[in-house]
Amino acid sequence: MAIKYDAIVIGTGQAGPSLAVRLAGTGMKVAIIERKRFGGTCVNNGCIPTKTLVASARAAHVARRAGDYGVTILSSIAVDMKKVKARKDAVVRQSRQIFYQRWRTRVYSSAPGHR
Ligand SMILES: Cc1cc2nc3c(=O)[nH]c(=O)nc-3n(C[C@H](O)[C@H](O)[C@H](O)COP(=O)(O)OP(=O)(O)OC[C@H]3O[C@@H](n4cnc5c(N)ncnc54)[C@H](O)[C@@H]3O)c2cc1C
């Protein structure tokens, strides 16, 4: 059975979900389509993963400069890139889930008849 929509929003990056919420708020029946991963560039490849990697780099930097702050670290500082990547992947996964839940709730709660 064919379903009719008033608007179809393509993409679930930073732009798509907020547009879908606005349109749903005006009473439109809205579909949102994503070809890859919910959250788009920012959540999956952009803002979130880069800042997570930068946080690991900063931790290594601060640890290496611990002596400047009067803190003695008795062993050498090493970066385990497998763990860095695993942490980044976990943060991205969690962010995607939170982003999805938040927008799903907002799209539904904006649409009349879905309160
Ligand atoms: C490395 C990096 C770091 C960044 N860091 C920051 C930052 O710190 N702060 C900041 O403000 N911005 C940052 N950005 C920019 C930010 O990611 C973008 O501005 C933002 O993601 C743009 O959102 P958008 O919705 O326009 O596009 P996108 O997030 O790219 O979303 C588009 C979505 O549409 C989907 N799509 C495309 N075509 C189709 C189709 N035909 N059918 C179905 N789905 C489709 C894609 O799969 C994607 O999910 C960064 C970007 C990069 C690359």
* Closest approach atom of ligand 1 to CA 33: 43
* Closest approach atom of ligand 1 to CA 40: 49
Task: Give the whole-angstrom CA distance, residue 80 versus residue 96.
Answer: 24
**Residue-level pLDDT at 110:** 60
What's the pLDDT tens digit per position in 66-110?
Answer: 999 999 999 999 999 999 999 999 999 999 999 888 887 776 666
Identify the structural domains of the chain with CATH numbers, from first to last.
7-112 (3.50.50.60)
Residue 46 confidence class, pLDDT cut points 50, 70, 90: very high
What's the pLDDT tens digit per position in 49-76?
Answer: 999 999 999 999 999 999 999 999 999 9
3-state helix, strand, coil in the chain (%, to 5): 60, 5, 35
Residue 3 confidence class, pLDDT cut points 50, 70, 90: confident
Question: What pTM was estimated for this model as a whole?
Answer: 0.87
Expressed in angstroms and rounded, the spacing between residue 54 Cα and the centre of ligand 1 is 19
